[in-house]
């Protein structure tokens, strides 16, 4: 799979201390294992001149206080609370000047953020997804991208998970319904 770097962005989903570091409240070994392949993908994208976008899941402490049903703290416990060390990107995956960092408050990085406008302004149509968690924020953001007529491609070996079956489900679902799946060795960047 070849991607024109001028029309492509790597979307690094939620590679934060809270999910990827052993001291994080929602640490998963599968998320920690995704750090190195995500770093390789980001390095390749930067070298080719493709865009890189990072998402950060951040929750104000009172975010769910008045919600009727949707409450991530009930489901997952308090995590990545605004202002905490958990919200920071893991060491080695820092953003650079000119790269977008999307602060989101739910699973979908398009929901009430600047992501869509930024991608459109930069002529991006292909989105290569890596990060964590496969069946939560990666799946919901990639699905939302597909509904907005971007080309979502999930990079299988650079996606974190809690259980291996969670990743398999997300990849199968994405490939069947709205996107494509590839691996790091199968993708490259070239001017069309």
Q: Does residue 166 have an active-site annotation?
A: no
| List 20, 38, 104, 130, catalytic entry | 104
| List 14, 57, 108, 166, catalytic entry | 14
Please give the angle made by the CA atoms of 109, 51 and 42, to the nearest 5 degrees.
Answer: 90
| List 20, 38, 130, 137, catalytic entry | 137
Q: Does residue 43 have an active-site annotation?
A: no
β-sheet bridge partners, residue 104: 57
Cβ atoms within 10 A of the Cβ of 124, count?
A: 19
Q: Does residue 108 have an active-site annotation?
A: no
Residue linked to tokens 């600047």: 114
Backbone angles phi, psi at 146, to 5 degrees: -60, -40
Taking Cα atoms as reference points, which of 60, 61, 41 lies closest to residue 51? 41
Find out whether the peptide bond into 84 is cis, omega within 30 degrees of 0: no
| Structure letter (DSSP) for residue 136 | I
Q: In what order do the strands lie in the sheet with 100-104?
A: 100-104, 51-57, 8-13, 126-131, 151-159, 180-182
CA 42 to centroid of chain Cα atoms: 12
Instruction: Indicate which residues carry an active-site annotation.
Output: 14, 104, 137
């Amino acid at each position: 799979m070849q991607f024109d770097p001028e029309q492509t962005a790597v979307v690094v989903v939620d590679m934060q201390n809270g999910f990827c570091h052993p001291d994080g409240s929602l640490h998963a070994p599968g998320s920690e294992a995704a750090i190195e392949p995500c770093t390789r993908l980001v390095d390749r994208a930067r070298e080719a001149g493709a865009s890189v976008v990072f998402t950060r899941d951040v929750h104000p402490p009172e975010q769910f206080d008045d919600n009727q049903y949707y409450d991530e703290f009930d489901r997952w416990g308090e995590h990545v609370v605004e202002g905490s060390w958990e919200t920071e990107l893991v060491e080695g995956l820092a953003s650079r000047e000119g790269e977008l960092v999307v602060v989101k408050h739910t699973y979908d990085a398009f929901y009430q953020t600047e992501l869509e406008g930024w991608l459109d302004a930069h002529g991006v149509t292909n989105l290569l997804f890596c990060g964590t968690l496969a069946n939560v924020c990666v799946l919901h953001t990639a699905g939302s991208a597909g509904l907005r007529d971007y080309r979502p491609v999930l990079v299988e070996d650079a996606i974190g998970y809690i259980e291996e079956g969670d990743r398999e489900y997300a990849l199968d679902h994405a490939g069947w319904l709205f996107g494509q799946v590839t691996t790091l060795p199968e993708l490259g960047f070239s001017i069309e």
